[in-house]
Structure 1
Amino acid sequence: MKVIEINNITKDYGQGKGIFNVSFSVEKGEVLGFLGPNGAGKTTTIRHLMGFSKANKGSCNINGLDCFEKSAEIQRNLGYLPGEIAFLDDMTGIKFIKFVAEMKGIKDLTRAKELIGRFELNPNSKIKKMSKGMKQKIGIVCAFMQEPDILILDEPTSGLDPLMQNEFIKLILEEKERGTTILMSSHSFEEIERTCDRAAIIKDGKIVSVENISTLKESKQKIYNITFENEEVVKDFLKEGFKIKDIDKNNVTVLVKGDIMPLIKSLGKYKVVSLESKAQSLEDLFMHFYGGENND
């Protein structure tokens, strides 16, 4: 059953800015990653789902309700974490959390307190004195404290340190286990890879691809930076026929898709000074879908 449905929505701000014929859906209990570089149209799409913006054409529905016409009804039972949270800066963190709880009719703050402890948030200082990471934690508490059936999260780990990013990923996996339907935008492929079932990829306001995460993982290439003893050795190594991304004197960057054993065996023949592996960046992965100079 489709919980979130976006059908051909267009919001044209002129000069190529906006979103154009965007369509995808999120099934009940699914975690869908919404991937794209900054400025690609992720937030604009999410604002339409929240009813903050009305499309020039197309429609979006949550649980069969029109997102613009029925926004108040939809938002009552939905957890939302915006990319830019509008805080009342003079409030303390705990007062803001209680204020949001009151608006949503949440009487029991047990879950909120549990999340405050989990994310090591000190909610007693004034919001205006808090770091971006602390503010983000307040946003997380507000989105999750209702234990909603649907979560819409816009760049949820922005500003969090690696330890807290990891804690957030655990939280998403627990929600997934509970059967929560989640749409999560990110420009971090690793985050999406660890939590999502599928990913919708957006660039320049257009959906380029909606893929199973397993397919995206297969598209990923491993990148190895190899330092050989000298440039003569590099010349010999190049005859092996591996896919080369870059050469700088005696340093070679090799791209490997799938099995790395042929590369390992091959390197046994040469004098290697160092070998390091590097995760493929989201940008490299995008190139695979978007075309461009690094297109495979």
Structure 2
Amino acid sequence: MPVIEMKHVTKDYGYGRGIFDVSFEIKKGEVFGFLGPNGAGKTTTIRHLMGFSKPHEGELSINGKDCWKAAAIIKYDVGYLPGELAFPKNMTGDQFIKFMAEERQITDMTHTEELKNIFELDTSEDIKEMSLGTKRKLAVVTAFMHNPSVLILDEPTSGLDPVMQERFIQFILNEKANGKTILLSSHIFSEVDATCDRIAIIKDGVVVSTIEANQLKQSTNKAFKIEFSSFQDYQTFLEDTKFTIPIKRPDQNQVKLNLTDEKMQQLFIELSGVKVNFISEIKFTLEDYFMDFYDRKKTVAAGEENLQHGLH
């Protein structure tokens, strides 16, 4: 039996907003990535899994329990890290941790102290005085302090500095090694790539693809960056080529394109008629696969460099 299961779940808020016929299942010990830009439907899906919202259609379960009907019971099995943080007013970090420990009937605080050490969390100050990064670390500690078997994480590293992001990824890999079942919702390619066994891509509330992470790593697709010797060579190539060119940089006389092994000969035939400064192969990545499902022109116009870190 899958640990987490969604069957044909729809929540229609009107005007094209919501999630539509979403289905997936997550096995015990698996890290499942849920990848999409903000507004694609990731948080709506998670809110239904946590029992915060009732679907119009479909079924959701965690450990065989209905997510809506058994929400109060399920929360003891689940470590939930929300994308948007909300804490009680006028509490210190210590008071909040004590409150959560009592709520979950935790008497041995050894694991909580271990988590505080891992994430270098000082819980003595008032929560309202904490930075966003410290609040995120407090949320991480309280999500995992009861050592849950299932983790549901919505944009978990948002607000963390790069060192803590890396530490969080290592923590997730350790949790995976301990047999935890994890749903990781993110728009950060590197985070998903480093941790996930399978990845679902969501667009406009619809799951448009689900793929094994190993399939991407073993892909025969290749990406190439080509810089031409002059703008004239750059233009000549674009006018004559039979390839689709997803990324063009006229200011640098560069293009980037994706192709399979069997198309390599055609590329070099075309390049024989122009002068180039260099050709560099770029490993086919999760980002490349993801962009096949989104409007590359619009996204690239927002800044290709941002895509190295995530879509905003």
Shorter-chain-normalised TM-score: which range?
0.7 to 0.9
C-alpha deviation, 1:240, in angstroms? 8.6
The residue that corresponds to 1:142 in the other structure is 142
CA contact (8 A) 2:93 2:127 kept: yes
C-alpha deviation, 1:281, in angstroms? 8.0
C-alpha deviation, 1:106, in angstroms? 1.3
C-alpha deviation, 1:228, in angstroms? 4.4
The residue that corresponds to 2:290 in the other structure is 286
The residue that corresponds to 1:118 in the other structure is 118
Structure 1's 19 and 195: CA in aligned 2 closer, same or farther, altered over 3 A?
A: same
The residue that corresponds to 2:3 in the other structure is 3
Map 1:98-177 → 2, pairs under 5 A: 98-177=98-177
Sequence identity percentage: 51
The residue that corresponds to 1:272 in the other structure is 277
Most deviating of 232-241 and 123-132: 232-241
Q: Which runs of 5+ in 1 are unaligned?
A: none
Indicate the RMSD between aligned Cα atoms, in angstroms: 3.2
Distance 1:43 1:88 in 2: 21
The residue that corresponds to 1:71 in the other structure is 71
Q: Which runs of 5+ in 2 are unaligned?
A: 299-312
Structure 1's 126 and 222: CA in aligned 2 closer, same or farther, altered over 3 A?
A: farther
TM-score (norm 1): 0.86
C-alpha deviation, 1:216, in angstroms? 3.8
Cα deviation 1:52-111 (Å, max 9, x = unaligned): 111111110111111111111111121110111220132111221221121111111112
Distance 1:84 1:71 in 2: 20
Secondary structure in 2 matching 1:2 = coil
C-alpha deviation, 1:276, in angstroms? 10
CA contact (8 A) 2:193 2:286 kept: no
Structure 1's 164 and 95: CA in aligned 2 closer, same or farther, altered over 3 A?
A: same
Distance 2:54 2:221 in 1: 36
C-alpha deviation, 1:292, in angstroms? 6.7
**AA matched with 1:50:** M
Cα deviation 1:147-184 (Å, max 9, x = unaligned): 21111111101111111111011001001100000011
Distance 1:177 1:97 in 2: 26
CA contact (8 A) 1:242 1:254 kept: no
**AA matched with 1:288:** D
**AA matched with 2:253:** N
CA contact (8 A) 1:220 1:280 kept: no
Distance 1:219 1:158 in 2: 33
CA contact (8 A) 1:133 1:161 kept: yes
CA contact (8 A) 2:224 2:280 kept: no
**AA matched with 2:137:** K
The residue that corresponds to 1:12 in the other structure is 12
CA contact (8 A) 1:208 1:290 kept: no
Say whether residues 1:97 and 2:101 are aligned partners. no
**AA matched with 2:277:** V
C-alpha deviation, 1:36, in angstroms? 1.1
Structure 1's 257 and 117: CA in aligned 2 closer, same or farther, altered over 3 A?
A: farther
**AA matched with 2:181:** T
The residue that corresponds to 1:38 in the other structure is 38
C-alpha deviation, 1:195, in angstroms? 0.3
Structure 1's 277 and 90: CA in aligned 2 closer, same or farther, altered over 3 A?
A: farther
Aligned length: 291
Secondary structure in 2 matching 1:183 = strand
The residue that corresponds to 2:253 in the other structure is 251
Distance 2:135 2:220 in 1: 35
Say whether residues 1:179 and 2:183 are aligned partners. no
Structure 1's 280 and 197: CA in aligned 2 closer, same or farther, altered over 3 A?
A: closer
**AA matched with 1:31:** V
The residue that corresponds to 1:214 in the other structure is 214
